[in-house]
Every structure is written in C-alpha cells, then in structure tokens.
C-alpha cells in the first residue's frame, strides 16, 4: 500500500538545519579521541522525536555510530553517510572559538562546518523531509553517521561494515 504524500514545510527544515548545525559544531568531537558518543545521543534525540527507529553501536568506549532506515522498494539502498569526528583545532589559529559555531558575515564558523558536520545535518534534514512527506520510496534510504573518519575509520564506517553489515 502506498502512503499519501504530505507537504513538507521547507522553511521549517531550513531553520532546523541552521540551528542543528550550530548545536552540532558545539559538540567537540576532535579526533583523537573522537568521543562521537555525544553526537550519537544528539542524533538519537532528533530521530526519537521524529518517531524514526535507529540503531547505534560503539566500536570502543566513546566511539559511537548511528544509523536509521526509511523502508522503500527493491532498488539498491541510498546511504546518506557522514562522519562525526573532526581534526584538531588549535584556537590560536582561529579568529573565533572553533567550537562556538559563531555566525559571522552570514556564515557559521567552527570546526566541522565544512567537513562534515554541515553535510551530516543536510543529509539528516533530507532524510527527515522524506520521512515527513511519507513519500513512497523505490529504495531504502539510510542515514548514517560514523566515528573515526579523520584517523582511518577503524572505529567508524569500516567497523560498521565488518560488525554490522545489516546496516547497509
């Protein structure tokens, strides 16, 4: 049975995205050590509020991974993948606190704004828009945020592939 399509409030998605990017940048996931578990909790709160089931798995203490799936048809799944860790940011080289998510000249400044915290939120908002619209999908759509990309992905995407292949 196909679900009816519902309209999605794009202005709401945009406002949510800006707020969520700011909140996400403020979570210090500098790798090492990563400590992506904080972000897993952040994403879990959002997915829970939306009524979307999700899975989490920790590859080591503090090294969390999270994924959720919107069911669709039989075509190969589309994975919206981002990583939650960032490279170190020495504040002496920054004109703002790298974890403040300062808005300046119409831009959000902070570690991860370009790689890949903003991408993660854009993917999350697209995922939420599909969920809210109740669109019939011709494939599963998976939102996935992983640990440890900045240091080789042994605790992130590579670990998820090895230990939770069902996620894909």
Active site residues: 85, 149
Burial label for 114, CB within 10 Å (0-12, 13-18, 19+), is exposed
Cα dihedral 100/68/34/37 (nearest 10):
80
Nearest to 40 by CA among 101, 102, 85, 87: 85
Burial label for 32, CB within 10 Å (0-12, 13-18, 19+), is exposed
User: Structure tokens of 162?
Assistant: 């090895």
Angle 127-131-136 (CA atoms, 0-180°, nearest 5)? 110
Q: In which residue are the tokens 């794009």 written?
A: 10
């Amino acid at each position: 049975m196909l679900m009816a399509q519902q309209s999605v409030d794009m202005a709401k998605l945009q406002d949510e995205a800006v707020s969520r990017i700011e909140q996400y940048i403020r979570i210090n996931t500098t790798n090492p050590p990563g400590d992506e578990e904080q972000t897993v909790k952040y994403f879990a709160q959002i997915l829970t509020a939306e009524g979307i089931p999700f899975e989490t798995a920790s590859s080591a203490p503090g090294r969390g991974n999270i994924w959720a799936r919107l069911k669709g048809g039989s075509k190969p799944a589309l994975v919206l993948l981002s990583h939650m860790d960032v490279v170190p940011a020495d504040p002496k080289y920054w004109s703002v606190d790298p974890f403040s998510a300062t808005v300046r000249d119409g831009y959000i400044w902070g570690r991860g704004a370009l790689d890949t915290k903003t991408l993660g939120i854009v993917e999350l908002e697209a995922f939420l828009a599909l969920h809210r619209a109740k669109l019939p999908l011709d494939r599963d759509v998976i939102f996935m945020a992983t640990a440890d990309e900045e240091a080789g992905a042994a605790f992130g995407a590579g670990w998820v592939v090895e230990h939770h292949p069902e996620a894909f």
